[in-house]
Structure 1
Amino acid sequence: MSTQRAQADVERPDQEAPPPGGEPGRFGTALAAVRDGSGLLSLLAVVLALVVGAVLIAVADPRVQETATYLTARPSDFFSAVGTAVGGAYTALLQGAVVDWTADTPTRVLRPLTETLTVATPLIGAGLGVAPGFRAGLFNIGAQGQIIVGAVLAAYVGFALDLPVVLHLVVALVGGVVGGALWGGVAGGLKARTGAHEVIVTIMLNYVALRGVEYLLTLDAFQREGQSNPISPPVADSAHLPLLLGPGFRLHAGFLLVLLAAVGVWWLLERSTTGFALRAVGANPAAARTAGISVPRSYVTVMLLSGALAGLAGAVHLLGTEDSLTAGVAGSFGFDAITVALLGRSRPGGVVLAGLLFGALQAGGVSMQARTGTPVDIVLVVQSLIVLFIAAPPLVRGIFRLREPQARGASGARA
């Protein structure tokens, strides 16, 4: 009977998930609302962000500013300038992210798409690391630190050990996964044993990881010989991820690894008993506990999983793209991963698509700035607006005049 009750609670995503031993707080309610929103809202959030970005592009364009001074006299000049500015910027963004149809060689035509996939690889891996925590009711903001720790161990194995080609790569990848898992497990263990809030713990662990790698790069074991800059020796060739399309492109086998990881996460969350337990805890911890599910164990499990996936993201980024360890090896991937997971609604398939979108924005933003002079910061504004609109479903529904989702009846069926 208790097991059936837990199954019913998991199948009702609109039910608020109270934290252990209490009623749901505002944080948990907001997380559940964002996590359980529809895919249509995610798409509309992207559309709204691009529309606002178009307005900012037009406002920042000198020609638009000039024609605005005599708008009433010759409005056609103003609207033509707006169309040229916005169309040119987004065309350059598309050419830098998907296909450059103006290029003169096949390699240059396809390079933008491969750059998008390369940039998206760590975003997808880190987004997969954040998503399971959301499904289990935890807000993992520690992907940045988990990426750093994973990259540190992968780099050390890569340049310090002398192993055969295939074995060296496998051990380096495993080192990255283990490093990220241990770092995520610290937050999970503190949450399970003491009830420490995962947001605070993971934020603090991010700083610990960042300062830790800065310190390690001052040690002889991590310092490149003959260099005073904080950079490690290069990873051995035997630990490099192979390039998928040859030396003319940067796309490496790490992209295939994160796709396989997405399939594995989908199976774990949707088809395994462990995934059912995690989803039960995320939907209703009290009901899950009543059904015999260990809530503390689930917290530790999901944080170990999240850390392992983020560590994998750090490992594939370092072994496939960076080649050497630096203090900025994680970039902003860990924080962007939160947006990717939110946009993907914490589903592996959605995370992959969201990662590709953000990879395209980042890869195309450079081309947009180079070709049209549009500030690359516009891309950051668009990404931030996507987060804003995803976090405010009523705003998106109000703009597009969408109905509020109907509540379930007393029997649990849709009204």
Structure 2
Amino acid sequence: MMTGKQVTIDEAFEKGIRNGSPLLYKDSLSGMKELNEGQIIDVKNKAGKFIGRGYYAIQNKGIGWLLTTNEQEAIDFAFFAKKIKAANDKRAALYHDNETTAFRLFNGEGDGIGGFTVDRYDQFLLIQWYSKGIYEYKEWIIKAFESHVDFKGIYEKKRFDTNGTYVEGDDFAYGEEGQFPIMVKENGMKFAVDLNEGAMTGIFLDQREVRKTIRDKYAKGLDVLNTFSYTGAFSVAAAAGGSKTTTSVDLANRSRAKTTMNFEYNDIELADQKIVVEDVFHYFKYAVKKQLQFDMVILDPPSFARSKKHTFSAAKDYSKLLKEAISITKQSGIIVASTNCSTFDMKKFKQFIHEAFNKQKDNYEILEEFGLPEDFANIRHLKESNYLKVVFIKKRK
């Protein structure tokens, strides 16, 4: 039986692993010297009892992942193939949904192997690698997908920096190269995707249910403001749901052309859709000055953002951002507050919401909440895994 280099877990962290958390932290282990990225490790407690087997990898979340608690289970190609086949089988309903051709196919630790994710965009796969350690297993992983998944080509994003940022390079990895942008469908809506143009693809797949809810339940007849709009996916959902107007605001110059393309893909009349390339914080000031009011304001900022005059951290500044949004939301209007920041949970997020409304001396009602969709399999009590928080809030008198 193949075994790994033995490391010892601190007693304070042993309980978390026994409760199902596979993430290994630097401060939790001893015996970590002279380990190589990707090296198999056997985690034992101070009494020498086997706790689990995993691999060593330095990334923004920690220094490795447990893969099995079965001492007899080897970490080999068969192990990877089994996990990938199981994940693919779990997405059977999405494969049979003709209205959705883009979804998360393998979600790291939620599907049994922390450190990488795989998204399906029609006939192409995108692998995101979060450490050099997991990248050591690239050949096995691609071979496993080739054995169990039908696809044309594979692209990759290397996020090896310890803060998880994208490492520039050629993103084509295997198979047939794509001619981008390609068009994917999500609940019948169409979006342009480019897998070979930097860190982002054109759409955040974890918001699929939120976009559908905006379209199907809330958007009809509303004036909608979509901030940090990126390629306008929320705006497309609002317009597809019959909104009166949409205003999409994003600092990036690319947002205008990409948002326009997504509107055109969906045969949406451009005359009622406004696209503003501007710092969102400047736009809030402009809206207040011009006494603009919206029926729906969508807030989906990055966890951290910096412009020439503003630095935004969701953990520190979300309440302040929400306060700005409240001021330009009509009475009985709706705010869609979203964050992918993993450093706080839904309970803390609701505290930010309460704080913002309290400072504005406005009342509110929480209409509904969303986390990650089913294809984003996650470990609920591991905050780094269960990161998405979305709340639909109604502004009350």
What TM-score bracket applies, with the shorter chain setting the length?
A: under 0.3
Which entry has the higher C-alpha Rg, 1 or 2? 1
TM-score by length of 1: 0.23
Relative to total residues, which structure has the larger helix share, 1 or 2?
A: 1
Relative to total residues, which structure has the larger strand share, 1 or 2?
A: 2
TM-score by length of 2: 0.23
